């Protein structure tokens, strides 16, 4: 049962509720009408949804980069759930299957999509990116080809973590990380940590993580960083801190991932990376930066950027299944799906402190 448009539960008859961003610092759990189920769609009962920094940004400012919230929007995009119903043409999934969900729907018609770089699609419809609704809801409808069945030994929470992990995996692909690549990571927040885990899974032999926060550095060390370096926020300290980075690494920096995206972190990245190396800008803290690009160019240091990810879910799930990556320690706080808990969860995530990944269990 389940194929050919069949359903094995009665949830579709119950009112679907979601967490709506209705104003500045205001979230409300309200009804969310689902679209009709297309032949290639599935209806998913959400079970795990993580809070991303962009979700908090939308809550606090009603915007993230050039995306502005102009009307109420359902929040959330890091998610996993259980198939409740499958469209008539869905051949790969049946009700009851546990899935991790890729949150962006590209057009598949533009040149970027045709070339396989669908993450750059100008018509991308991405969960919780205005005006597209997100996934912090009892149920959603989504294309089946963007739902990836979880291995038996991978939990729904781990499935939801495939979204942030995909950023690290995509960054490692862009930077060509391998067994001969010594890595420096600027920033030990959630994205810095998943980038570290990804780099190790790709074979990086030595990884040094840099941050301004002692607690985040201790987490990075506990998750496998070979060494950590605490730095200041003062750009005048870059030269001395680069010496310290080189000393602890004991080798040249082949690739630096800037997972913060500030003037100082990018300056450090460009300065620390050895001639012929590569800097991958992952974080977007500043929309514009003043950095020493000319000296880096004279050393043939390549600079690459990333935007989200493409074709990463199968590899993420294999890393999780095989144990090459363990994301469970990153999930530090869990909340249910009530009005009070939704508010508390976002406050916890926004506060930072010892919170890394805040997860909803629906």
Query: Beta partners for 208?
Result: 184, 227
Domain 167-305, architecture per CATH: 3-Layer(aba) Sandwich (3.40)
In contact, 37 and 5? CB cutoff 8 Å? yes
Listed residue (75, 77, 79, 53) closest to 64, CA to CA: 53
Q: Which residue has the tokens 């729907």?
A: 105
**Is 64's pLDDT higher than 90?**
no
For the beta carbon of residue 10, count every other beta carbon within 10 angstroms. Answer: 8
Q: What is the pLDDT of residue 4?
A: 41
Listed residue (91, 226, 207) closest to 149, CA to CA: 91
> Which CATH code is given to the segment(s) 17-149+327-361?
3.90.180.10
pLDDT in tens, 286-304: 888 999 999 999 999 999 9
Listed residue (163, 224, 170) closest to 193, CA to CA: 224
**Is 3's pLDDT higher than 50?**
no
- Domain residue extents for the chain: 17-149+327-361, 167-305
Q: Establish whether the linkage from the previous residue to 4 is cis, with ω within 30° of 0.
A: no
**Is 8's pLDDT higher than 70?**
no
Q: What is the pLDDT of residue 65?
A: 80
Angle at 319 between CA 313 and CA 323, to 5 degrees: 145
Listed residue (221, 214, 209, 300) closest to 260, CA to CA: 209
Q: What is the pLDDT of residue 117?
A: 97
R_g over Cα of the chain: 21
Q: Which residue has the tokens 């002692």?
A: 214
Average pLDDT over residues 260-265: 96
Is 79 strand, coil or helix? strand
One-character DSSP codes across 92-111: S--TT-EEEE--EE--S-SH
In contact, 204 and 183? CB cutoff 8 Å? yes
pLDDT in tens, 101-127: 999 999 999 999 999 999 999 999 999
Q: How far apart are CA 334 and CA 19, in angstroms?
A: 16
């Amino acid at each position: 049962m389940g194929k050919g448009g069949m359903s094995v539960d009665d949830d579709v008859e119950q009112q679907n509720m979601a967490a709506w961003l209705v104003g500045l610092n205001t979230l409300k759990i309200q009804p969310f009408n689902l679209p009709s189920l297309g032949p290639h769609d599935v209806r998913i009962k959400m079970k795990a949804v993580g809070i991303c920094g962009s979700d908090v940004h939308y809550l606090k400012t009603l915007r993230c980069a050039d995306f502005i919230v102009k009307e109420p929007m359902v929040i959330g995009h890091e998610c996993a759930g259980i198939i409740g119903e499958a469209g008539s043409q869905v051949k790969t999934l049946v009700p009851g299957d546990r899935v991790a969900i890729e949150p962006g729907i590209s057009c598949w018609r533009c040149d970027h999509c045709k070339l396989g770089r669908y993450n750059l699609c100008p018509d991308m419809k991405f969960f919780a990116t205005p005006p597209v609704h997100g996934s912090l809801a009892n149920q959603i409808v989504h294309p089946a080809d963007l739902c990836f069945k979880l291995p038996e030994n991978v939990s729904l929470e781990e499935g939801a973590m495939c979204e942030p992990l995909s950023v690290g995996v995509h960054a490692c692909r862009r930077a060509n990380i391998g067994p001969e690549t010594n890595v420096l990571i600027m920033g030990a927040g959630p994205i810095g940590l998943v980038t570290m885990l990804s780099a190790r899974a790709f074979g990086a032999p030595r990884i040094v993580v840099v941050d301004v926060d002692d607690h985040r550095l201790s987490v990075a060390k506990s998750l496998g960083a070979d060494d950590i370096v605490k730095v200041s926020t003062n750009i005048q300290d870059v030269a001395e801190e680069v010496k310290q980075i080189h000393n602890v690494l004991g080798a040249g920096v082949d690739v630096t991932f800037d997972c913060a995206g500030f003037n100082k972190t990018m300056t450090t990245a460009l300065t620390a990376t050895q001639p012929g190396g590569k800097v991958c800008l992952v974080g977007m803290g500043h929309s514009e930066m003043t950095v020493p690009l000319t000296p880096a160019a004279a050393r043939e240091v390549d600079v690459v950027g990333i935007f989200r990810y493409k074709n990463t879910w199968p590899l993420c799930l294999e890393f999780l299944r095989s144990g090459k990556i363990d994301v469970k320690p990153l999930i530090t706080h869990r909340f249910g799906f009530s009005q009070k808990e939704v508010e508390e969860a976002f406050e916890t995530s926004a506060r930072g402190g010892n919170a890394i990944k805040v997860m909803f269990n629906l």
